[in-house]
Amino acid sequence: MKENELNVHAASDAEILEGVRKHMSNIEPLVPPPPTGDWSQAVTAERSRRTVIRSRIGFAGLAPLVLVVAVVTVAVGFGLGLRGSPGVSGGGPYPAGSTVSITYRLVPPGGGSPSAAELNGTVTVLEARLSAIFQVARVVDSGGSPLPANDASGPVGYSVTAQPPDRVVVTYQADYRIVAGTVTWDADTIRASLGLTGQVEFVDLPAGIYGTAGAPGSKSIPQKGDTLDDALPALLTGSDVDTTGLGWGWGSNDVVAAQVPFKGAAAATLAAYSTANRGHYLAVTVDGVVRTTVLMTGSIENGLLQLSTGLTRADAESLDWLLAHGTLPVPLSEVDFALVTPRPQGVGQVADPGAPDVLTPSSIPTNGRTLGNANAPHTIDVYEDFQCPLCKNFTTDIQPVVVANYVATGKAKLVFHDFLVIDQNIGGTESLDAANAATCAADQGKFWPYHDWLFANQHTEGSGAFSKDRLKAIAAAAGIPDLTAFNSCVDNGSHNAEITAEQSQMPLDVLGVPAITIDGGAVLNSYDYATISAALNQVLGPLQSDTSTVAAPTMLVPQPESSAASSPTATATP
């Protein structure tokens, strides 16, 4: 026995070659014929691009090739040529302790909401893909040495959380790099690859359009990276592949041959197709983009399709990664991305409290968290998180106009509710601590002034802006009368229990922040002024409708920020 390139004990060279000949015996009839003209010059040119077409030499000519059955396989998003991968900037390495949070929306091709099975299936596939990356003890680096289970920055980890009806939130540690095969996985590479649908298809290229080996068609044979016509039906798909037999091999010139075994009826389909369509080309695509093409020059009776033309080792690794860990049930759309860095220690790392630009008018009556006349005929319920940037936008730009035109005029009252989203998404207690502090201010009849000061002094999520010390400093700046009582209330978390209890009593359709309801009805589909005023005018009737005493702001309103424990209607990057 001897060691192969991956430093794994394997069979001798003779045993390897015998296995290669046995399991990849169809390689010769599946490669394209040599180009016309000077064959030696053509081969030299191809070698310069690190892709060699093997034609008239038998597979024994690949003596250096070592067949490797996929155990842990990897993908490179920017190398796949796939549609729908997000633009990624190379931002790493990231600060120690930082994590990435990505929210995906499931987008069924036919529209509508995904089924529960599709949502659960998406979680399963994403977990399998991440597991293959993070099981670093099973991965070897480019020098052939096993990587330790954890790198120098500590354990690496991930989570995948379903948010019914159509969201999945993925988090993973960002401050590491894992070398696996020819790929270095880092936070950006994972992001570029993770959300790919991974639909692998084997598509017949009709001879009437693309021609055959001896007769060119009206269209050229697609090349790697080309988008294939969606109207062409798939002969076979990735679900037909026997993933236990996936493997690939490579030689000294980075020549790669991948074997794709089909199971059961699919193997019979391949046999019938290859026999009846000699001379046809079969395209291998991922998410509609061509990875390689295969020329059918002989019958394939063993269900083992060999891919060798134009494949690099990374191509083969990525194809294995997608096939081995499953196709996503429906495509994903990335709707939120956040890099969460460790919170700074102490107040000094965020700005000292500054006065708000907009204050709730003191002339409007208040009662705790209720603003306006207690006997107003209608109620505007507002659900917010003091750490939420979109809530700050609503509070400073839209709410003042709603208050001026409806609350100050006695047509409606506004009630504030805490919905703690950020703590659930990134960890920590700053949202809870801020909510408790606001309730401590309410104990002294100062909820609304303190509410305004909190949003004015919001900082990056989890940044320490709402540490207990800074909450006290904001109270002093805001003029809370009894600071001793306030500070004790903050330190003791006096209202934490009631705020936590409130989270379990949210209306079922309050799924993100900010959220607005009128008279306890359904959550409005947007929090812009036009939507809110239209809903209020409908319940008020024409005689009491908004006459726009204060002009409404004109702006593009992002979608609400969702909670990791809820079911968002939409999300937006803070």
Q: Tens digit of pLDDT for each residue in 369-410?
A: 999 999 999 999 999 999 998 899 899 989 999 999 999 999
Task: Give the separation between CA 294 and CA 483, rounded to whole angstroms.
Answer: 77
- pLDDT per residue over 4-26, tens digit each? 222 223 334 444 344 434 434 33
Average pLDDT rounded to a whole number, residues 174-203: 77
pLDDT at 187: 80
Q: Given this model, what pLDDT does residue 511 score?
A: 84
pLDDT for the residue numbered 544:
64
What's residue 545's pLDDT?
62
Q: Where are the beta strands (DSSP E) in 158-288?
A: 158-163, 167-173, 178-180, 183-185, 200-205, 234-237, 247-250, 256-261, 281-286
Rg (CA), the chain: 31
Q: State which H helix or E strand residue 292 sits in.
A: strand 289-295
Rounded Cα–Cα distance for residues 500 and 522 (Å)? 23
Residue whose C-alpha is closest to residue 550's, from 533, 573, 574: 533
pLDDT greater than 70 at residue 492: yes
In this structure, of 99-108, 272-281, 346-355, 547-556, the range with the lowest mean pLDDT score is 547-556
The mean of the pLDDT values for the chain is 74
Q: What is the dihedral of CA 317, 323, 326, 328, to 10 degrees?
A: 80
Yes or no: say if 30 and 294 are a contact pair by the CB < 8 Å rule: yes
Closest Cα partner for 422 from 387, 390, 446, 472?
387
Tokens (6 digits) for 538: 């409908």
In this predicted model, what pLDDT tens digit does every residue of 169-184 receive, in sequence order? 898 877 766 665 555 6
* Contact present, 385 and 419 (Cβ < 8 Å): yes
Task: Over range 556-570, report the average pLDDT.
Answer: 52
Confidence of residue 97 (pLDDT cuts 50, 70, 90): low
Closest CA to 105 of 331, 270, 286: 331
DSSP code for 273: H
Tell me the domains of the chain and their CATH numbers. Answer: 1-342 (3.30.1360.200), 345-562 (3.40.30.10)
